[in-house]
Amino acid sequence: MSTSNTKSYWRRYRSVPIVYRIGTAFVLGSVVGLLVGEPATVLEPLGDIFVRLLSMIVVPIVVFTLLMGIRRISPSTLGRVGGEVIGLYAVTSAIAVFIGLAVANLVNPGQGLTLAEDVEFDPADTPDFAEVLVGIVPENPIGAMAEGNVLATIFFVIVFGLALLLLEESTEDETVRSGVESIFDIVEAGTEALFKIVWGVMEYGVIGVFALMAAVFGEAGADAIVPFAMLIAALTVAILLHIGVVYLGGLIVALTRQSPVSFLAGSKDAIVTALSIRSSSGTLPVTMANADDNLQINEGVYGFSLPLGATVNMDGTAMYQGVVAIFAANLVGVQLSLVEQLTVVVIAVLASIGAGGVPGTGLIMLTLVLTQLGLPLEVVGFVAGVDPILDRLRTMTNVTGDLAVTTVVAHWNDAIDLTGGSWADPTQGLEVGDTTAGDD
Ligand code: ASP
């Protein structure tokens, strides 16, 4: 093949929006995994590299965009944005559990199945809620960043950013004032550079996602999935309802008066990445890039709401607790009373807040719900086999919810340009990321 031919293939390949290339890799990887079986798991390291590349930029991007945000909005607006974001996060999570319970009551997943004798689960892993709360204040901010503790990092960066702003306002010393400006300027350049890295990493994502999916399906195989078909179906229906009715109908159309198509087009990269890597935190750089480039949201809102959301707002995870509670009750042949189901709502929301945005935490948090209901913890071991599939659906919902709430709060605070990006043209919005990646 001549070099010019190769170049033109490459150019044609690059002209396809990245989300379609990754989507195709997702499907092809799954098919290859199912066809090849166990040997496909050798590809796993290639997938792990993708996840690590994304994880590599999480802390810097949180620090930089949050500082940028603080420069752009006043401290009082930050306070209001915080209240609105947290309020909407809590309300949508509670609605998610209601929807999950309602769908599961109708579909009744788990009927006709029994627990295998040999499944066991050690419940010692559940994180302590009070510990999570206290941990928001870092003993050592550098340590918090090194550990990837997002909440503690947000706390320190807000304190530091506000201190910079106050200093700039109050100081008489020109050197200090221009020093503050220089810090913010450096951060601005750093943010741009990090977004460039995000889109570069997404180019590798085509290989990474293919490998991840081939490894998952190579290991699980279709046979392992069949007994759980009703559980997967119940969660899928509940998620589609939640996304369709609450996010698109409620948040985007009713509260923001915008097109759901534009919102989905603007959020596509984040949605596909969440499906592929099962981690809201790992997806965070892409979620932020979509908020910035496609949804045209100001850093002042997303710089705070998205890292917070990736850590505490997990509608998919909360909903999953409700669906699996019904599944578990069916497995042991008991019926949950209304009061028990309402208890599930409260515990599931708390559990989803306590769960970190990494693969599989929703499964661990299940122990809280099951223990409260007196249902056997072995259920956790039982569903663990299909968790890699359920976790994808949860994570995709979690990330979509973060972006939908962020859009509404940005709209309420005049921090979004609804005439640009994917709002103006959904197809163009898709490609903003590609352009940012540059053709260099
Ligand atoms: N993997 C999910 C997330 O990162 C959490 C969960 O396991 O439900 O959002």
Give the residue numbers spanning the domain of 342. Answer: 27-437
Asked whether residue 2 is assigned to any structural domain, the reply reads: no
Which mutation among 150, 235, 395 tests ligand 1's pocket best, with the greatest number of atoms within 8 A of CB? 395
Asked whether residue 305 is assigned to any structural domain, the reply reads: yes
Q: What is the pTM of this model?
A: 0.85
Asked whether residue 10 is assigned to any structural domain, the reply reads: no
Q: Which two tokens stand for residue 144?
A: 């918090």
Asked whether 361 lines ligand 1 (CB < 6 A), one says yes
Total structural domains within the chain:
1
Q: In this structure, what DSSP letter does residue 41 have?
A: G
Residue with tokens 């056997």: 376
Asked whether residue 284 is assigned to any structural domain, the reply reads: yes
> Closest ligand 1 atom, CA of 310?
9
pLDDT of residue 108: 87
Point out which residues pair with 259 in neighbouring strands: none
Tens digit of each residue's pLDDT (9 = 90 or more) over 131-190: 777 888 999 999 999 988 888 998 999 999 999 999 998 999 999 999 999 999 999 999
Rounded to the nearest angstrom, the gap between the alpha carbon of residue 111 and the centroid of all alpha carbons in its chain is: 31
Q: How remote is the CA of residue 395 from the centroid of ligand 1, in Å?
A: 5
CA distances from 225 to 45, 124, 133, 334, 387 (A): 24, 27, 37, 24, 10
Q: How remote is the CA of residue 66 from the centroid of ligand 1, in Å?
A: 23
pLDDT of residue 163: 94
Q: How remote is the CA of residue 276 from the centroid of ligand 1, in Å?
A: 12
pLDDT of residue 237: 97
Sign of CA dihedral 78, 179, 188, 275: negative
SS3 state of residue 416 = strand
Asked whether 357 lines ligand 1 (CB < 6 A), one says yes
Compute the half-sphere exposure of residue 401: CA atoms within 13 Å on the CB side of its CA: 37
**Domain CATH number, residue 228:** 1.10.3860
Asked whether residue 138 is assigned to any structural domain, the reply reads: yes
Asked whether residue 196 is assigned to any structural domain, the reply reads: yes
Asked whether residue 388 is assigned to any structural domain, the reply reads: yes
Exposed e or buried b for every residue in 336-362, given b needs 16+ CB within 10 A? Answer: beeebbebbbebbbbbbbbbbbbbbbb
> Closest ligand 1 atom, CA of 363?
7
Residue 369: band (very low, low, confident or very high) from pLDDT cuts 50, 70, 90: confident
Nearest residue to 405 via CA among 323, 304, 317, 320 = 304
The DSSP result for 95-158, as a single string, is HHHHHHHHHHHHH-TTTT----TT----GGGPPPHHHHHHTTS-SSHHHHHHHT-HHHHHHHHH
Asked whether 352 lines ligand 1 (CB < 6 A), one says no
Instruction: Please check the confidence at residue 113 and state whether its pLDDT lies above 80.
Output: no
Arithmetic mean of pLDDT, 39-45: 92
Residue with tokens 């100081």: 171
Q: In this structure, what DSSP letter does residue 413 have?
A: T
The whole-chain average pLDDT of the chain stands at: 88
Asked whether 55 lines ligand 1 (CB < 6 A), one says no
Asked whether residue 79 is assigned to any structural domain, the reply reads: yes
Q: How remote is the CA of residue 393 from the centroid of ligand 1, in Å?
A: 9
pLDDT of residue 129: 65
Tens digit of each residue's pLDDT (9 = 90 or more) over 325-351: 999 999 888 888 888 888 888 888 888
Residue 38: band (very low, low, confident or very high) from pLDDT cuts 50, 70, 90: confident
How buried is residue 206: exposed, middle or buried, by Cβ count under 10 Å (0-12/13-18/19+)?
buried
Give whichever of 54-58, 85-89, 125-129, 227-231 has the largest mean pLDDT. Answer: 85-89
Q: How remote is the CA of residue 163 from the centroid of ligand 1, in Å?
A: 33
Asked whether 309 lines ligand 1 (CB < 6 A), one says no
Q: How remote is the CA of residue 341 from the centroid of ligand 1, in Å?
A: 22
- 21 with 207: CB under 8 angstroms? no
Tens digit of each residue's pLDDT (9 = 90 or more) over 221-259: 777 777 788 999 999 999 999 999 999 999 999 999 999
% the chain with pLDDT above 70 = 93
% the chain with pLDDT above 90 = 57
